[in-house]
Amino acid sequence: MSRRRKVTVVGGGNVGATCAQVLAARDYADVVLVDIVENLPQGKALDINQMGAVLGYEPNVVGSNGYEETAGSEVVVITAGVPRKPGMSRDDLVTTNEKIVGSVTEAAIAQSPDAVLIVVSNPLDAMCHVAKNVSGWPKERVFGMAGILDTARFSTFIAWKTDSSVKDVTAMVLGGHGDQMVPVVSATTVGGIPLRKLVKEDEIEEMVERTAKGGGEIVELLGTSAWYAPGAAAAQMVDSIMLDEKRVLPCTAYLEGEYGIEGLYMGVPVKLGAGGIQEIVELELSEDEQTMLNESADAVREVVGVLTG
Distance in angstroms between the alpha carbons of the first and the last residue of the chain: 40
Which residue in the list 30, 157, 177, 207 is annotated as catalytic? 177
Question: How would you list the strands of the sheet with 193-194, edge to edge?
Answer: 169-170, 189-190, 193-194
- DSSP code string of 72-93: T-SEEEE--SPPPPTT--HHHH
Q: Verify whether residue 177 is a known catalytic residue.
A: yes
What is the spatial distance between Cα 80 and Cα 7, in angstroms, rounded to a whole number?
Answer: 15
Nearest CA-CA partner of 167 in 189, 184, 147: 189
Between helix 201-212 and helix 214-222 the angle, nearest 10°, is 60
Tell me the Cα Rg of the chain.
Answer: 19
- Catalytic residue positions, numbered: 177
